[in-house]
Amino acid sequence: MINKKKYSISLLLILLLYSFSLPPKTKLNIVFIGDSITFGSGLVTPVSYAPPVHECSYLLQLSKYRDVEFSNQGLSGKTTLDFLPSSGKYFNNVIKAADQFYKDKEGTLVFSIMLGTNDSAIKGPHGAPVAPSAYQANLKTISDSLLIAYPECKIIINYPVWYSPNTYNTSKYLQEGLDRLQSYFPQIDALVAGYAISNKGHVFVGDKSAFSYFMKNFQTELIPEQGQEGIFYLHPNRKGAATLGLFWGKAISRVIK
């Protein structure tokens, strides 16, 4: 005959042990730093369809995250120079957004950075063209400042994405700019490798795949825009924004385990 009291206690112990063996679900608070691509320029309603929105939707579908909140600090036309702490309001806006999240001690504060498109231009954006070494130095200044303000944060630096070699709107990019953009990739790798020694576990390389993906799929995932050298492709359309958000989401999921 079954002892119901002992059976209930045993079942309770099993449930308790099982619950303790499960990894706790992580809450993510993400601040996005970027340019018009991060902001969602060209989309009818960026607040609903920009890449950060899709990234967070993807992360929420994963069982290891119980909640994801974000602040999109992407701004059209901005370079790494614009986000330097010494430049003023843009970095200050990032700090204001992060301060709100940093009060939440249950969440992991993440900075997702994708800058470089405007840095690579021949002329137009602030400071362009930005030399590869200067690009790395700017990213380091930004990252160092974030790590001083938020020692427990995670910083993920994504590779910039492809644009067509005839890109020329109010700013001039062309093939020279595209070549310079790709010269930034090893600078990101080197920067993160340095942090792996000096501040291990806090700064990571994010997505590397979106560049080649959009180079192959620009006609279906980027917006055709009239420029001074004909129709060019730079900004993701609604489908492309969802794809880019997925790339970024997978990068964060790989890092925040």
How do the domains of the chain map onto residue ranges?
26-255
Going 45 to 51 to 55 to 58, the CA torsion angle's sign is positive
- pLDDT, residue 24, reads 59
- pLDDT, residue 11, reads 45
pTM (2 d.p.): 0.90
Tens-digit pLDDT string for the chain (257 aa): 555 444 454 544 444 444 444 455 689 999 999 999 999 999 999 999 999 999 999 999 998 899 999 999 999 999 999 999 998 889 999 999 999 999 888 899 999 999 999 999 999 999 999 999 999 999 999 999 999 999 999 999 999 999 999 999 999 999 999 999 999 999 999 999 999 999 999 999 999 999 999 999 999 999 999 999 999 999 999 999 999 999 999 999 999 87
- pLDDT, residue 50, reads 98
Q: Which helix (H) or strand (E) holds 233?
A: strand 230-236
Residue 172 backbone phi and psi in degrees, to 5: -105, 120
- pLDDT, residue 88, reads 81
The yes or no reply on domain 26-255 and CATH 3.40.50.1110 is yes
- pLDDT, residue 25, reads 60
Q: Which helix (H) or strand (E) holds 9?
A: helix 4-21
Question: Angle at CA 23, nearest 5°, toward 18 and 27?
Answer: 135
Give CA–CA dist 243/227, Å, rounded: 25
Buried b (16+ CB within 10 A) or exposed e, 160-194: bbbbbbbbbeebbbbeebbebbbebbebbeebbee
What is the Cα Rg of the chain in Å?
21
Helices 132-149 and 185-198 cross at an angle (nearest 10°) of: 40
